[in-house]
Amino acid sequence: MLSLNSLRIGCSSRALLYPNWLMTKRQSVYKTVTCSAHCMTTGYLKNDTGNSNVNFKALGQERKLIYYTNSPRNYSTGQVKLNCWNCKLPLDQRPVFFCMSCKAVQPPDEEASYFKLMDCDYTFTLDTHKLQKRYLQLQRSLHPDNFSQKSVREQEYSESHSALVNKAYQTLLKPLSRGLYMLELEGMRIDDGTDSGADSEFLMELMEINEALDEAQTPEEANKIGQDTKGKLAVLTEEIDAALLKGELQAAKVLLAQMKYYANIEEKVKEKLSEFM
């Protein structure tokens, strides 16, 4: 029988030689966790079909929480322990901005997702108020002006952090850029200049909306188009969230392409309204 130390050495060697093997194992663990959670939920429903007090809405929210909390995209892909560059003591968490021991600013964690960086749940309908609060907190502590008397190294790190936090905030703030980023994390993207499978009926509808906006003679007419567009964007937001929750990435991609068109119309409405001022 192999000893525990032998097993550890064997696994570590295999991970170093075959890094893809380690990632495959992590993905297998993730699938096992989510599958177990789904099976537990399904079993609960089967065992309580006769109970009229079952809260199906609560179960749905619980399943959503399980999905987003356990998503591997919500965590840094690197699991290697880091040490502070200044005092050499270990850093307890990732991503880390400051060393808890010597307070020195640390280099940015390029492997952390924007969701993890901004301390947000991996969900399309994230809490934007929490996002804004986190953004202001990080920018206050990491702004380069705070490090003008520090070493050149810390000044460079603070500038990199500040730029990365700003990019993460701008990406996650709006539903369209947030959804596109989530697809990119899953290995998908919508190329600029393509219709991403938009059908002729949808494109004809867009053409009619654009023509109506061009012909609008009053602010009221432009506002009406703007309100209709906001309503369609709200519906698309719900549909995209549902598709991502179910793991239907292709459907989410098509819906995000539609959102992209309506977001462009929303910007055109703002430009039209400015002409009446």
Between CA 188 and CA 73 the distance in angstroms is 14
Q: Tens digits of per-residue pLDDT, 40-90?
A: 333 333 333 344 343 433 434 443 443 444 454 554 444 567 899 999 999
**Structural domain that includes position 218:** 200-275
Please, what is the average pLDDT of the chain?
77
Most confident of 2-11, 34-43, 79-88, 255-264: 255-264
State mean pLDDT over 18-46: 39
Residues 107, 167: one domain? yes
Distances (CA, A) of 117 to 74, 121, 254: 9, 11, 28
State mean pLDDT over 122-127: 94
83 DSSP β-pair partners: 90
H/E run at residue 240 = helix 219-246
- In percent, the amount of the chain with pLDDT more than 70 equals 69
- 50 or 210, which is more confident? 210
Residues 211, 156: one domain? no
Q: Residue 168's domain is classified under what CATH number?
A: 1.10.287.110
Does the pLDDT of residue 9 top 50, yes or no?
no
On whether the CB atoms of residues 99 and 157 are closer than 8 A, the answer is no
Residues 90, 152: one domain? yes
E strands of the chain, at which residues? none
Let me know if residue 189 belongs to a domain.
no
Does the pLDDT of residue 108 top 80, yes or no?
yes
Between CA 71 and CA 77 the distance in angstroms is 11
Let me know if residue 186 belongs to a domain.
no
Q: Residue 270's domain is classified under what CATH number?
A: 1.20.1280.20
The 10 Å CB-count burial string (b at 16+, else e) for 245-258 is beeeeeebbbbbbb
Residues 65, 86: one domain? no
Does the pLDDT of residue 97 top 70, yes or no?
yes
Q: Tens digits of per-residue pLDDT, 152-205?
A: 999 999 999 999 999 999 999 999 999 999 999 998 877 654 455 678 899 999
State mean pLDDT over 7-22: 42
H/E run at residue 43 = helix 19-47
pTM tops 0.75? no
Point out the least confidently predicted range of 72-81, 199-208, 217-226, 237-246.
72-81
Residues 97, 145: one domain? yes
Instruction: Give the position of tokens 């697809």.
Output: 183
DSSP per-residue codes, 114-159: HHHHTT--S-TT--HHHHHHHHHHHHHHH-GGGGTTS-HHHHHHHH
Let me know if residue 185 belongs to a domain.
no
Does the pLDDT of residue 147 top 90, yes or no?
yes
Let me know if residue 131 belongs to a domain.
yes
Give residue 267's pLDDT band: very low, low, confident or very high (50, 70, 90). Answer: very high
Let me know if residue 260 belongs to a domain.
yes
Residues 153, 122: one domain? yes
Let me know if residue 20 belongs to a domain.
yes
Residues 62, 106: one domain? no
Residues 168, 211: one domain? no
Residues 41, 83: one domain? no
Residues 126, 148: one domain? yes
On whether the CB atoms of residues 183 and 253 are closer than 8 A, the answer is yes
Q: Is the dihedral of CA 209, 210, 215, 221 positive or negative?
A: positive
On whether the CB atoms of residues 239 and 155 are closer than 8 A, the answer is no
Number of structural domains, the chain? 3
Residues 89, 164: one domain? yes
Does the pLDDT of residue 245 top 60, yes or no?
yes
Query: What tokens does 78 get?
Result: 């690197």
Let me know if residue 190 belongs to a domain.
no
Between CA 41 and CA 58 the distance in angstroms is 11
Between CA 147 and CA 199 the distance in angstroms is 53
Let me know if residue 193 belongs to a domain.
no
Residues 87, 159: one domain? yes
First to last CA, the chain: 83
